[in-house]
């Protein structure tokens, strides 16, 4: 399931984040690449572990925690510290699949990558190209969202970033391990959560139907969750 998360970052938060990134130390993006990705990847990346990287990552993580849509769809157990990349001058990232296990350098922190997330940080009118292209059974989906919006998609997907031919594309990207491993089960829980919210909004959260549907949601979550 691919899911856009509109306006994850509001204008003030986005401006604060961009100011932090503008003062950061940018390096070759292959510093974090696996063997396959290194063959396809041409971009720049904010150096991990620097004060700018930690501050910028904290801003994104705080925004994720405030997003009911992200939490409902991802059911996050562990989130990899957000990374940041920049594409310009024809830079691109060819077709690849994200590593199943992501490890943070210099620590014992690791996650199983169930879901990948890209947060767009540049106005889409400020650059040409740079679409995130995700391959699905039904065909390719091309994604280029407004600054501050995010896209959540399965880490199992083959995906790429098209060449940026004008301007610069700035984004945050990261992976997460969900409490619910299976994508089908996560989709069922997400749909049920939305139904519960609609019923509660129309009939009241204390209505018997809302209470019973909430019980079904949590009983399924108990059955499927790793945590």
Task: Return the pLDDT at 35.
Answer: 57
Report the C-alpha gap between 213 and 227 in whole angstroms: 22
Find the mean pLDDT for residues 181-209.
Answer: 96
- Residues 117, 91: contact at Cβ < 8 Å? no
Find the mean pLDDT for residues 169-190.
Answer: 98
Find the mean pLDDT for residues 46-69.
Answer: 97
Counting other chains too, the contacts that 132-138 makes at CB distance below 8 Å and 24 or more residues apart are 132/159, 132/160, 132/161, 133/159, 133/160, 133/161, 133/162, 134/2, 134/158, 134/159, 135/95, 135/159, 136/2
Nearest of 81, 86, 87, 84 to residue 102 by alpha carbon: 81
Task: Return the pLDDT at 227.
Answer: 77
- The full set of domains in the chain, from first to last, is 3-178 (2.60.120.620), 183-224 (4.10.860)
Find the mean pLDDT for residues 56-69.
Answer: 98
Task: Return the pLDDT at 106.
Answer: 82
Quick: pLDDT tens for 113-170.
999 999 999 999 999 999 999 999 999 999 999 999 999 999 999 999 999 999 999 9
Global pTM? 0.93
Nearest of 16, 43, 34 to residue 100 by alpha carbon: 34
pLDDT category at 66 given cuts 50, 70, 90 is: very high
Task: Return the pLDDT at 34.
Answer: 58
Nearest of 109, 110, 91, 108 to residue 99 by alpha carbon: 110
Summary mean pLDDT of the chain: 95
Quick: pLDDT tens for 78-127.
999 999 999 999 999 999 999 999 999 888 999 999 999 999 999 999 99
Task: Return the pLDDT at 219.
Answer: 98
């Amino acid at each position: 399931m691919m899911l856009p998360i509109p306006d994850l970052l509001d204008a003030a938060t986005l401006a604060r984040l961009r100011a932090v990134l503008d003062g950061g130390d940018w390096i070759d993006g292959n510093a974090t690449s696996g063997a396959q990705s290194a063959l396809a990847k041409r971009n720049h990346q904010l150096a991990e572990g620097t004060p700018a990287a930690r501050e910028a990552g904290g801003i994104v993580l705080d925004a994720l925690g405030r997003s009911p849509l992200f939490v409902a769809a991802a059911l996050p157990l562990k989130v990899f510290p957000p990374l940041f990349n920049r594409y310009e001058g024809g830079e691109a990232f060819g077709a690849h699949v994200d590593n199943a296990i992501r490890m943070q350098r210099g620590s014992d922190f690791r996650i199983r990558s169930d879901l990948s997330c890209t947060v767009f940080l540049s106005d889409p009118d400020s650059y040409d190209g740079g679409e995130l292209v995700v391959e699905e059974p039904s065909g390719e989906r091309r994604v280029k969202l407004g600054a501050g919006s995010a896209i959540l998609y399965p880490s199992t997907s083959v995906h790429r970033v098209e060449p940026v031919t004008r301007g610069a594309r700035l984004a945050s990207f990261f992976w997460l391990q969900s409490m619910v491993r299976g994508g089908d089960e996560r989709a069922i829980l997400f749909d049920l959560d939305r139904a519960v919210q609609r019923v509660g909004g129309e009939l009241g959260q204390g209505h018997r139907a809302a209470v019973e549907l909430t019980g079904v949601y949590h009983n399924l979550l108990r059955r499927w969750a790793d945590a």
